[in-house]
Amino acid sequence: MNPATGSAICNVPFSLKEEIDQAVESSASAFEKWKEVPLTERVQYLFKLKNLFENHFEELARINTQNHGKTIVESRGDVKRATENVEAAIGAAYTLSKGEHLDQITTGIDEGTVKEPLGVFALVCPFNFPIMIPFWFLPYAIVLGCTVVVKPSEVTPVPMTWLAELIQDEVKFPPGVINLVQGSRETVEHLIAHPKVKGVTFVGSTPVGRHVYKLAGEHGKRAIVQGGAKNSILIMPDADPAIAVDSSVSSIFGNTGQRCLAGANIIVTKEINRNLI
């Protein structure tokens, strides 16, 4: 839906279990070849991905606003942060992929650690940052040799779906490296339970996050789970009231009040309280 008009802008079919299985199987099959691609070559795909974001910057921002409802300025920030995560993954790839070697850990014995990609990861994404949050995880997983199945929010599926099509057409990852499925709770639960999914990342509400974490644990899967927060803004006695109010309004109401780290409580000292009175 377009929240500005209340009208439907597209229809997205929820993936059947058979289709989810196909996406995971595709991802698992691609992993066997993708993990053998040299790191230097995998990084080149991320350079193409960065260029895609830059070439379609305004287009992606406007699609983001149309489906989510945040201001165009905030959507531009959404796309910019996604781009920065691709850049960070490029820079971190070599460091994150390095193993370790310890000479003579005991007499006549050396110790070595080799880091290897694990396989398929499911990325479960929230509605509040449809483009940025998938890219908290996707570029790092891809550049380190893993493959992904992305599940956008059923509330804001359009930006990531549009972006996935652009990636397929312009970046041209090998088939199966990036997969996309649609749906809600049933889709997520089926992904986590699938034996070929090695782990899940989640950003969303705390109650749902707890369920995802519990389910991942029951199935022996790795999990990165991030929930909501009740954040406090402490205004100190030396604060400029005008600046404090402006910053607090931005924190509380920016991104339609849906930031994970949005201000929820304002705490003022007695000194400030007297000054305001």
Residues annotated as catalytic (active site), given as ranges: 260
Between the two ends of the chain, the Cα-to-Cα distance in Å is 44
Q: What is the CB neighbour count within 10 angstroms for residue 144?
A: 19
CA distance 277 to 199: 53
CA distance 54 to 171: 13
Q: How far from 90 is each of 47, 138, 247, CA to CA, in Å?
A: 8, 12, 33
Question: Residue 44's beta-bridge partner residues?
Answer: none
Q: Are 128 and 229 in contact (CB under 8 A)?
A: no
Q: Is 116 exposed, middle or buried (0-12, 13-18, 19+ CB in 10 A)?
A: exposed
Q: Are 125 and 134 in contact (CB under 8 A)?
A: yes
Buried b (16+ CB within 10 A) or exposed e, 193-214: ebeebbbbbbbbeeebbebbbe
CA distance 103 to 111: 6
